[in-house]
Amino acid sequence: MNTSVVDKFLEYVKFDTQSDELTNLTPSTPGQMIFAQHLEKELRAMHLSDVHLDENGYLMARLPSNSKKQLPTVGFIAHLDTSPDMSGRNVRPRIVKDYDGNDITLNAERGIVLSPSDFPELDNYNGQDLIVTDGNTLLGADDKAGIAEIITAIAYLQAHPEIEHGDIAIAFNPDEEIGQGAHKFDVERFGADWAYTMDGGEIGELEFENFNAAVARVTFNGRNVHPGYAYHKMINSIRIANQFIIMLPRWETPEHTEGYEGFYHLVSFEGSVEKSVLTYIIRDHDRDRFERRKKELEHLARKINNEFSGVCDIEIKDQYYNMREKIEPVMHIIDIAQEAMRESGVVPKVVPIRGGTDGAQLSFKGLPCPNIFAGGLNFHGRYEFVPVQSMEKAVEVIVNIARLVAQKQ
């Protein structure tokens, strides 16, 4: 398979596309539009049809069918942005050839090391070529690996017209990392019968169920008085917020849960005596447990207000839901993806997403959209890496899906 996927990836990570949930813009940062415009030119140079970039940074295009049969239109989607969790500016990747299983020094000056003792998944990639960071930024494999894989696969299909396929729709969207990637996605314009997001992790991952998700903002309004005269007057919102935190189950947090286990995750704490704000994300695969988690937060807010009258306000907003209920009626699209992987020598690993994906929201907008591996690991931080061979296999899987859809009609 064409190894240009590596060259494309190394080019794409140069674009700073870190999203920002505070701007209230779409795309949330200008770098995403700059990257989308670059990709638009690339897709036009490939002579794809229906290339369209809208004012919100959603880029779509289509590889026309080369079949005489009436075939379904299959879509492939990846997101433009990188996580707000760490800088994506001045990414300086390097390739560790033929990884030998030892520690990888990312940044000698700062003593930053990617070690199998901390990240045992490295042991699965001995002898492979790993693209790593310089320790100062994330890498951007989430999801620029997916973008590179889709474009490389489309180029491969163009270069091999003997491979029969139907219309293939592709889309690159902004702001997935802040949960808004599907908000302004025009499903009708995209025109696919179903799609796959190329946004999964390690090789073989295939996901069609994810967390139900909500965000909770809990505000504590205190009263500041000179501490020397505060007796029975001061209401310290920081202390009350801390009381709220410890009322939640200690073990139901991301660092203590796995698989299908849900959690409450405190993602930020802003506080002063006068006012403190906690932001939680709430996650659970089971819809009933998800609803109970939201009610538990509301119950704890009432308990606080019973002790400190009226100091606590809580606002909870749902973000997305488990796509499984939308995928189960069309499980043939999962079967095709598994067969495509096996034909590439990849063992499918059907796992639940311990997070969200644009595919979840798109599935509820009428576009069934499971998630396929893009190959990266340790997303959102300086220890992120992606094996070259995994990216190449992802390209093969995309090509195989296009071919299998045609064969099965």
- Do 85 and 180 share a domain, yes or no? yes
For the entire predicted model, the pTM comes to 0.87
User: Which of 155, 214, 172, 167 has its CA nearest to residue 37?
Assistant: 172
* Token pair in block for residue 178: 């802040």
- Do 16 and 107 share a domain, yes or no? yes
- Do 264 and 293 share a domain, yes or no? yes
- Do 273 and 394 share a domain, yes or no? no
60: part of which helix (H) or strand (E)? strand 59-63
- Do 195 and 306 share a domain, yes or no? no
- Do 27 and 47 share a domain, yes or no? yes
Q: Report percent pLDDT > 90 for the chain.
A: 95
Residue 282: CATH number of its domain: 3.30.70.360
- Do 190 and 337 share a domain, yes or no? yes
Interval 4-32 mean pLDDT: 97
Name the 3-class secondary structure at 404: helix
- Do 89 and 140 share a domain, yes or no? yes
Cβ neighbours of residue 256 closer than 8 Å, sequence gap 6 or more: 250, 263
Domain boundary among 276, 303, 320: 320
Q: Are 196 and 77 in contact (CB under 8 A)?
A: yes
**Residue 108, domain extent:** 4-209+322-407
Interval 223-231 mean pLDDT: 96
Exposed / middle / buried, residue 162 (Cβ in 10 Å: 0-12, 13-18, 19+): exposed
| Average per-residue pLDDT for the chain | 96
Domain boundary among 272, 297, 320: 320
Interval 321-326 mean pLDDT: 94
Q: Look at the chain and report how many structural domains it folds into.
A: 2
Residue 72: CATH number of its domain: 3.40.630.10
Angle at 373 between CA 331 and CA 52, to 5 degrees: 85
- Do 181 and 242 share a domain, yes or no? no
The whole-number pLDDT of residue 1 equals 46
Domain boundary among 300, 320, 340: 320
- Do 301 and 179 share a domain, yes or no? no
pLDDT per residue as tens digits for the range 119-146:
999 999 999 999 999 999 999 999 999 9
- Do 29 and 59 share a domain, yes or no? yes
- Residues annotated as part of the active site: 81, 176
pLDDT per residue as tens digits for the range 260-314:
999 999 999 999 999 999 999 999 999 999 999 999 999 999 999 999 999 999 9
- Do 199 and 229 share a domain, yes or no? no
pLDDT per residue as tens digits for the range 32-87:
999 999 999 999 999 999 999 999 999 999 999 999 999 999 999 999 999 999 99
pLDDT per residue as tens digits for the range 208-220:
999 999 999 999 9
Report the chain's C-alpha Rg in angstroms.
Answer: 23
